Amino acid sequence: MSPAGNKILKKNIAFYFTAVIIINAIGISLNYVGLDTYLIFIGFRFQLSIFLPAFFISGIFSKNYVLNIFRNPKYKKGSFFIYLLIIPLIILLAILFLLRKIKPGDPDYFYELGISSIIDYPVYLIWNSVQLILFFLYLIYFESKAKLSLLIIISIFILLFVYALIPFNKESFNYINMISIIFMGSVTGIMIKYFQNVYWLVIFSFSILWLDFLLFGSNSEMAVNLLFASQYSSWEGFFSVEKDLKAFILPAHLFLVNIFILINFFKNKPTNKISYNASGN
Q: Is residue 272 part of a domain?
A: no
Q: Is residue 277 part of a domain?
A: no
pLDDT digits (tens, 9 = 90+) for 46-72: 999 999 988 877 666 667 777 888 887
For residue 60, the model assigns a pLDDT of 63
- Number of domains within the chain: 1
pLDDT digits (tens, 9 = 90+) for 191-235: 888 888 889 999 999 999 999 999 999 999 999 999 999 899 999
Rounded to an integer, what distance in angstroms lies between the CA atom of residue 264 and that of residue 270?
10
Q: Which of 22, 17, 13, 10 is nearest to 49 (CA)?
A: 22
Q: Is residue 162 part of a domain?
A: yes
Rounded to an integer, what distance in angstroms lies between the CA atom of residue 272 and that of residue 195?
9
Per-range mean pLDDT, top range of 15-19, 49-53, 276-280: 49-53
Res. 185: pLDDT tops 50 = yes
Q: Is residue 281 part of a domain?
A: no
Q: Is residue 275 part of a domain?
A: no
Q: 130: domain range?
A: 3-267
Q: Is residue 280 part of a domain?
A: no
Q: Is residue 31 part of a domain?
A: yes
The phi and psi torsions of 228 (rounded to 5 degrees) equal -125, -135
Rounded to an integer, what distance in angstroms lies between the CA atom of residue 159 and that of residue 71?
30
Res. 275: pLDDT tops 70 = no
Predicted TM-score (pTM) of the model is: 0.88
